[in-house]
Structure 1
């Protein structure tokens, strides 16, 4: 134990002795020690070993992945019993797998078997245009799927790819014995059309009958995506360089809003909980501080925005008595996926589809958002959020998507993302941020050092210097 931690613990003992009996002292000191061991001096939120109830929550979430793993490919369905997986959800699976092992839900043998089968698939999976992971795959056959989830190509999403990149990196940090194989996945892909030399990210897909490359990501998810690429040495500055002078007011609280006008770009600019929660769970919002030169008066930009996203939802409950945990989520009925926002396309508390149709009746207290808010903000409000959420599961299938704001009814769809968020949040509770930031020389680094043998995939050493 470090001197700082030892001194802090000693202070707790002395303070406790002045106000409590011996039995209470023991309990208080033990609780304080557990919080210190979990990282409460360094990280925000609820940090302590899981309670028996919380361990049951984790077991329930892992049940989803047990039920939805396809033995032929090692992939996990994105939606319960529906044999499709997106690249984003492949990253979710890695997050859930690490959590399951570190929370003692599975042993190392099962962890190894699952990870090895997953790596076998991604090492040889077909790539869109022969370059990058396709948006969706059939979890039974491993075939690429088009936008209608029929065999074919749908193109790629930089944001989805980044989720997998983040978790290939985190798994390699925690389990260096697999790092070589994780690195080989990254080295297989070609990056020329997904990120440019200045760090702008792109998606590629069909618009009507034509294939088009377009800028990918909006405020929140764009920062997360940029982080995923930067972990592997790419200059992702443009994706993370957001202006601070474009703000909106929701209930008299100021939040940053993406400056790109959805009426011009035909892409929504929602403020959602999930990206800010992920940046907290995985990086402790610390990664953004490296790039404070782009935010000269606000090096802690990501943390401040995350706090405001939390506070405005808390304030809505205190003011209007509406439980609020807004983020993108799935539905069992059309349009099947919604951007359930704090603010989007000119309106607060706007629930919209990707095509900008409004669905206020489908606003959710989203389970994924509740767990992230609950573990990162230890407040009376998140206590209340958890009370209205903690029963939203089927112990044999996993956690439901959420509870409707309008009626309190369940949205009974069960997804890999929600159950991965439950596991990731509970893992954070036991240890703090999940990305370790260790600088370890591995296969990836050795290959990049061989400048005359580079594969011409637009990897970091093959890039031109950004002129800006």
Structure 2
């Protein structure tokens, strides 16, 4: 860690000071032969945080700015004026809480990258906040699994009016970005806090941090544990940022490992045959944990962060990256694995590094295999490219950098088997493009600098608590 006058150098002001020292040093040592452009680039990279953060850090090039503009075009095209919501898939008027979180990430990136001005940022964010303040809740408690983006009503996976249930993982993505927006723009802090305080958390997370999803059947709610290694840790992060004890969803068992091409990887050993839930090793969750939290930011923010968890997550992320790089080096197969959508049945697939006993398997949520539909994921490639500045990610970006329609956004990816495009265009992928480029310009997105706001002040008043199983309303975990 860089230090300045005996103190840890973590602030942007400190980085700029160091940048000036480096530039001065370059100028002195180079004399009259100093290359102005190289010196300027060095200053900009250090100022952006290249001494503090992993990966490609620095200002966007003209090409990268064009990439960002293309990704933002998706959100311009798919915003519904009556609700402020954005479609999850191009021209498909359904979205989940995860997709609303994606939109918030894209919106902040667009503003900070200079694609929109303050007025448009405020108008778009205010429309989303208006929806969140009055949206229908499943069982009157939590965001429904799906919403119609045109009128804001609750729907099922087929877009038909229904109270479909909830997903803790999807809700967590929205919780993360409600917290991040409030940190960066405290003028919205109160309204963001009020969104969380509407929800009832009694059924979605227990006192020890196990997360649950629920589905509506004919007579009642069918509740099951939700989350597998990677996305479960990300989901636990979202809840822990708001003060919940999410230990059960954050604890990682270090003895559960598999080897893929001699690379050791942590693996979730919960048996899909017994749980009816697949457990693939995927890339995107580790990318989000890296860009947003540096893999261990929660240790500074939440008393419930398991000790040493961040180091383990970072090691796992490194292994997830290295095994894909190694596959290319040994087999010359470009690899960027993640969950992705497609325009034909089964509509969503999970390109794994390892799943259900096999390496490099592609399967649907029901466990059925689709080996010919493995994708070089645009979403995964962008995150890998920005977090690992290596010859492999440089070559990987060449494989996907043309996969876009400049008037609609970035495509989902390129098929490994044929090189053909998967031309479906989604909020997941375009939000990841924008978030990756935002990370490039500033480094870690969440900084743990938010001060106490409406949420904290209200919950400190014992007799004004809403009794929604919020953190201070819960008993301690008995374990």
TM bin, normalised by shorter chain, reads: over 0.9
How far the C-alpha of 1:14 sits from its partner, in A, is 3.2
Aligned counterpart, 1:54:
64
Matched, 1:342 2:350: no
5 Å matches for 1:189-208?
A: 189-206=199-216
* RMSD of aligned Cα (Å): 1.9
Aligned counterpart, 1:66:
76
Among 213, 232, 243, the residue aligned to 2:253: 243
Aligned counterpart, 1:83:
93
Aligned counterpart, 1:186:
196
Change (3 A) 1:11 1:117: closer
Among 144, 152, 156, the residue aligned to 2:166: 156
Change (3 A) 1:408 1:240: same
Aligned counterpart, 1:259:
269
Within 2, Cα distance between the matches of 1:275 and 1:223? 8
Change (3 A) 1:350 1:292: farther
Change (3 A) 1:80 1:299: closer
Aligned counterpart, 1:309:
320
Among 139, 151, 156, the residue aligned to 1:141: 151
8 A contact 1:9–1:32 mirrored in 2: no
Within 1, Cα distance between the matches of 2:72 and 2:153? 25
Q: Which consecutive aligned stretches of 4+ in structure 1 deviate over 4 angstroms post-superposition?
A: 1-5, 15-21, 206-210, 288-299
Within 2, Cα distance between the matches of 1:58 and 1:65? 11
**Unmatched 5+ stretches in structure 1:** none
8 A contact 1:45–1:377 mirrored in 2: yes
Matched, 1:440 2:451: yes
How far the C-alpha of 1:10 sits from its partner, in A, is 2.8
What TM-score comes out, normalization by structure 1 length?
0.96
- For structure 1, which segment, 384-393 or 294-303, has the greater mean C-alpha deviation from structure 2 after superposition? 294-303
SS of equivalent residue, structure 1 residue 413 = strand
Within 1, Cα distance between the matches of 2:304 and 2:473? 25
**Unmatched 5+ stretches in structure 2:** 1-11
- For structure 1, which segment, 259-268 or 57-66, has the greater mean C-alpha deviation from structure 2 after superposition? 259-268
How far the C-alpha of 1:286 sits from its partner, in A, is 2.1
Among 323, 330, 337, the residue aligned to 1:326: 337
What TM-score comes out, normalization by structure 2 length?
0.94
Within 2, Cα distance between the matches of 1:259 and 1:207? 28
Count of residue pairs the alignment pairs up:
467
Aligned counterpart, 1:217:
227
8 A contact 1:101–1:111 mirrored in 2: yes
How far the C-alpha of 1:29 sits from its partner, in A, is 2.1
Among 432, 435, 438, the residue aligned to 1:421: 432
Among 182, 185, 194, the residue aligned to 1:175: 185
Within 2, Cα distance between the matches of 1:442 and 1:3? 28
How far the C-alpha of 1:21 sits from its partner, in A, is 5.6
8 A contact 2:19–2:43 mirrored in 1: no
